[in-house]
Chains A and B, each alone.
Chain A
Amino acid sequence: MTFLFIVGEVIIECLIPFITARLVNNIQAGIEMDALVRTGLLLVLMAVVSLCCGAAAGYTSARASAGFAKNLRHDLFDRVQDFSFENIDRFSTASLVTRLTTDVTNVQFSFMMIIRTAVRSPLMFIFAVTMAYIMGGSLAMTFVVVIPVLFIGLFAIAKAAMPAFRRVFKKYDKLNESVEENVRAMRIVKGFSREEYEKVKFGQAAEDIRRDFTKAERIVALNTPLMRFCMYFNSVFVLTVGSRLVITSRGKVLDVGQMSAMLTYGMQILMSLMMISIIYVIITISLESMRRISEVLDERPSMNDPENPVMEVPDGSIDFEQVSFKYSAAAKRYALENVDLHIRSGMTVGVIGGTGSSKSTLVQLIPRLYDVTDGCVRVGGVDVRDYSVKVLRDNVAMVLQKNQLFSGTIKENLRWGNETATDEELVEACRLAQADGFVSSFPDGYDTYIEQGGTNVSGGQKQRLCIARALLKRPKVLILDDSTSAVDTRTDALIRAGLRDYIPETTKIIIAQRIASVQEADMIVILDNGRIDAVGTHDELLRSSEIYREIFEEQTHKEDGDE
């Protein structure tokens, strides 16, 4: 559609000078008034049609490109929803956001430019050249000189400037990133009195950018003189050769009207060449965005449902059989090595270990957030890879360490766990998670609006809401990954007591820093460097595990001789 309108617009636009030229000649030759009016009306009509075509083309191209962007965003978002954790890890959050926003906008813009100008300019170019030859005859020879000069010149400039610009933009992004870093870390900058140091650092980077930018812009600035040169050359040539032709042939080979039309066509040809070179630049710039977008679209979700998935989780037992795991095939070290672990349904299991001992990694294998590298994980006696992912995750609720509430009311957030939950069920779950107290104390209660990132509730409150949200799933397995670290010890204990009393048949896995959080568990797993160091009850471990004893002593007894 758009193309059609553009074609119409271009044809008419090229015809107008042609007919005008004839008109001019006719006037010169002496013409009847009604003939003049007739030609005049024809011209006006043509201008109006051209206007309509142009407007329609503008409208349709805007719609098409906005629609294109919409579909692109939709596909991208869709694809990300299909990603596994492994896929997500490969792209950082920030980079996914940029791809969905800035990159899509870039592509939308260039798409619009392309459908509007990429058709228009070459067409204009071809028509104008054809018309010029038809009308100007030998006078059109000027274009044989001008066009290649301009063409080569423009593309040489574009080609020289492009890499320079790309380099600059990269540096420019870096500069802005470092400013952002500075804004965020202002307390540290000022705390260490590093203002001057940062200024010097920034000054150097900015100076570097100025140099590169100036270089690139000066290359591009050559465009205008080049363009002018061709225009002027064309004008002088047409005037000299044209007037000679007109006079020597007494207006037979070339007349005054044709000569003036040649000047107009010259402009049109040069302008369209200029536009083509601009499009070339825009396309090359958006290619980078295109590439980054297709990187996401081409990413294959690394986890898919099996052929005939198991649709029911029989019970909450969990078995790790000789499980080894690493985050990427290229990683040198295994995050988990030869883990054997058997948990009966309904047990409460505590997991303890130092920073980086792979506690989170261990539990993430249960709801199949990642696939094992070796061995297998079974829930309810079935390999997790045989379940439908949805069924498995509905039955294995996990409260992540890095958890998040979403903007919306508390109710809406809680219903993530179970859409059809009644208000009573919500309150019940919050009571278990010790969240009902503070939620009811809010003026809007369960309808309190949570800001993006949950900034208007404290860390401890956020954690309790996240636990309530997970409880609403009525899962067979509940995993709490350091989910009460910001909750005071008393509330922590109440939550655990609640879990024990109200959902005894659910298997509960608790990762914690505090011994108090796990010491009454049926089984405590000590992880050290991706291996199981010891398994047992609190009392057994106090006797058998040195690590456990050490942690326990640190947390309960005051160290001697420290003061």
Chain B
Amino acid sequence: MNKGKRRINFGSLSRVVKLLLKSYPVLVPLTVVCIIIASIMASIPAIFQQKIFADIGDWYQTGDWQGAAKVILPKIMLLATFYVLAMIAVTVYTQLMAYITQGFLNKMRKELFSRMQNLPIKYFDTNKHGDIMSRYTNDIDSLRQLVSQALPTFLLAGVVVIAVLFIMLYYSLWMTLVVMVGVFLIILVSGRLGGGSARYFMRQQKSVGRVEGFIQEMMSGQKVVKVFNHENHCREDFDELNGELFDNSYRANAYANVLGPVIMNIGNLIYVSIAVIGGALVLLRVPNPGLSSLFAGSIGVLTIDVMIPFLGMAKQFTGNVNQLAQQVNSIAMATAGAERIFQLLDEKPESDEGRVTLVNAVIDEDGMVTEVPEHTGKWAWKVPADVTIHEAGHILHERVENPDYNYVELRGDIRLKDVDFAYNKDKPVLHDISLYAKPGQKVAFVGATGAGKTTITNLLNRFYDIEDGKIRYDGININKIRKSDLRRSLGLVLQDTNLFTGTVMDNIRYGKLDATDEECREAARLAGADDFITRLPEGYDTILSNNGDNLSQGQRQLIAIARAAVADPPVMILDEATSSIDTHTEQIVQRGMDMLMHGRTVFVIAHRLSTVKNSNVIIVLEHGRIIERGTHEELLEQRGQYYQLYTGAFELE
């Protein structure tokens, strides 16, 4: 009737099961065994009850307890033994389940995270962050539901249903048929109601999304709302959305709520029918075929001592069928979540075939190089002998000759030749970009939003790979350099600062994990951040949270600059890094940076021309092409685009 009903994804389900088995090759089967034992034990008492009731039936006219006890007590003892076994099985499996579930989730979480860390930037640029996040929250939660609840319950209920079915069949075919009719009814009704509930839950989900979106927008824009006296309009709009959510939410829940009592009461109906029909059968002495008759070889009649445990079994049976029906739903939901997790796990990680590494080096007066483990402020590229080193690379002589490697001085000589690039195949972003940054130069990119400034820096640190052309770093093709080393050599400060939860000191130290407090302070001083940090209530120990929302945007940028400064990188990329800092403070920052970057290469992107004025080369980009390049003075003389941009400020004078 409705095609959109959720389906169990068996591929994901079997993958989850396989992973479970792989993670716990002993414990998982043990748990399964315990569950099976527990559920069989749960079905057996019915037989004992029947036997005991039969015994009572035999003896109760006599009133002779002494005699009866000899028959009844051993059975009860045996029953109690089964109970003890069941208790043990239940205790073991529930404890194991708790252990396995958490261990498994932990494993999945870690795998998810470590796979995520290895994904290319493209993945993060093309997937919504909320979407990625929901794998850690919703999907992991549904996996937890699957492993700790749905699967064991399904197994348990399944075994009980089969066992009870056999026991029922053993005693009476007719009565079993009565129960089966009821079960059929339950499946029919729960399918109907479940479908309606699923439909409204979907609508509810959509309404929730809309309401949350509205709340998010209004709460973050609350100050604007107030400035414009717009409170009452917001209330009206909100009430409308809120009313819609109410409608869908109560319908969805009503369906779900009605389902439970309905199934339970159909269970009651079965219970009653058994009593009535069974009673009739007993009274009318109707032949009662069953598996037991096969063993006995003759068909007896239904007796009261069969009927009583049958009542209990019918309850147990319908209860467990109900469980199964509900678990099917939640397994379907959980496998959808599992599938999304696997999707991320199957995402292709960022490949890295680079073999050139970055090492700390000591270069003595005669230009001989020695590789050392500790930070020296000097670096060298360690290049395997079979990697070509082009003309810009300064090959260093080694103090101790190593034939397998050449050492190239890290100078920050970066050349782009005829580089083309497109994020999407059909929309080229960069055309024929050629440029040359000599060591120690400051290269600035100027141009409108979307001209391709940031894209160039994305290519330098290989967040994206070029389509065509060449990029060489100190004469080495950047594709040959190990990504982590390439990026380590490029300090990065972005307009969106992205600070981490932790103290100011922790955030600065992020640039260089083994930096001392003094080094961090020094970096902060260079970045012009020391002044405001020391005025914070807790100074360097002030805790930042929520991307540092207790600081102003300018202050956050200063910390981000300090973070890059403490890494002391040979090449720095500043992408609108000072856009929110006032010009006076920017001067201080620039002076500090110039000192830090003396003799090193800097790439600057800024729309504020005063920031880029003193660059060695200013490159003006338009629609992914370089249209002008030169120093500030040269460009002014050209009277081109840059001239127009720059003179805009003075037009009214």
Contact = CB atoms under 8 A, between A and B. Distances in A.
A354 B582 contact: yes
Nearest to A197: B513
B41 to A, nearest CB: 9
A228 B213 contact: no
A46 B211 CA distance: 43
A248 interface: yes
A62 B229 CA distance: 36
Contacts of B217: 406-407, 452-453
Interface string A246-260: 111111000011011
B242 A192 contact: no
Interface stretch (B50-58, B166-174, B372-380): B50-58
Interface in B244-259: 245-246, 249-254, 256-259
B638 interface: no
A356 B552 contact: yes
A93 interface: yes
Contacts of B61: 250
Contacts of B307: 24, 27
Interface string B192-220: 00000000000000001001110111111
A490 B651 contact: yes
Question: Which of B232, B259, B487: most chain A Cβ within 10 A?
Answer: B487
B245 A70 contact: yes
B95 A187 contact: no
A263 B498 CA distance: 63
Contact of B230 (A74, A416, A513): A416
A63 interface: yes
B418 interface: no
B301 to A, nearest CB: 13
B266 interface: yes
A355 B552 contact: yes
Contacts of A70: 242-243, 245-246
B416 interface: no
Contact of A189 (B117, B257, B276, B613): B117
A487 B232 CA distance: 32
Interface stretch (B2-10, B14-22, B267-275, B620-628): B267-275
A199 B114 contact: yes
B86 A232 contact: yes
Contacts of B215: 77, 96-97, 100-101
Interface stretch (B391-399, B426-434, B488-496): B488-496
Nearest to A59: B254
Interface stretch (A237-245, A276-284, A421-429): A237-245
Given A63-B250, A232-B87, A247 B257 contact: no
A83 B223 CA distance: 10
A367 B62 CA distance: 98
B107 to A, nearest CB: 9
A195 B484 contact: yes
Interface residues of A, number: 162
A425 to B, nearest CB: 16
A355 B551 CA distance: 11
B498 A551 contact: no
B538 interface: no
Interface string A18-45: 0010011001101101001101100110
Given A44-B269, A187-B498, A354-B585, A112 B253 contact: yes
A438 B414 CA distance: 38
B261 A55 contact: yes
A353 B552 CA distance: 15
B239 interface: yes
Contact of B59 (A59, A94, A247): A247
B648 to A, nearest CB: 4
B286 interface: no
Interface stretch (B129-137, B287-295, B361-369, B519-527): B129-137
Interface string B62-99: 11110011001100100110010011001100110111
Contacts of A184: 129, 498, 547
A74 B461 contact: no
Contacts of A404: 220-221, 224
B90 A191 contact: no
Interface string A44-76: 101110110111011101110111011001100
Given A97-B215, A188-B494, A355 B555 contact: yes
A503 interface: no
B534 interface: no
Question: Which of A62, A82, A469: most chain B Cβ within 10 A?
Answer: A62
A436 to B, nearest CB: 19
Contact of B98 (A73, A217, A486): A217
Contacts of B102: 210, 213-214, 217
B235 A176 contact: no
Question: Which of B56, B105, B242, B501: most chain A Cβ within 10 A?
Answer: B56
Nearest to B228: A416
Nearest to A179: B136
A488 interface: yes
A191 B492 contact: yes
A193 B492 contact: no
Contact of B276 (A43, A116, A180, A209): A43
Interface string A536-563: 0000000000010011001100110011
B25 interface: no
A262 B11 CA distance: 47
Nearest to B148: A217
B532 A24 contact: no
Contact of A554 (B90, B259, B555, B587): B587
Nearest to A229: B87
A16 interface: yes
Contacts of A550: 584
Nearest to A12: B268
Contacts of A453: 217
A178 B502 CA distance: 11
B23 interface: no
Nearest to B494: A187
Interface stretch (B277-285, B326-334, B401-409, B469-477): B277-285
Given A27-B279, A93-B222, A181-B501, 18 more contacts: A48-B269, A53-B261, A57-B257, A74-B242, A77-B235, A77-B242, A83-B222, A188-B494, A191-B461, A244-B68, A247-B64, A256-B304, A264-B315, A367-B227, A369-B227, A417-B228, A459-B449, A554-B584
Return the 9 tightest CB-CB contacts between A and B, nearest first: A54-B261, A58-B257, A40-B276, A66-B250, A185-B498, A51-B265, A62-B253, A191-B492, A490-B648
20 contacts: A23-B279, A27-B304, A31-B279, A47-B268, A51-B268, A54-B262, A55-B258, A74-B238, A101-B208, A179-B113, A179-B136, A181-B547, A188-B492, A190-B461, A221-B95, A244-B65, A354-B585, A355-B555, A356-B554, A562-B614
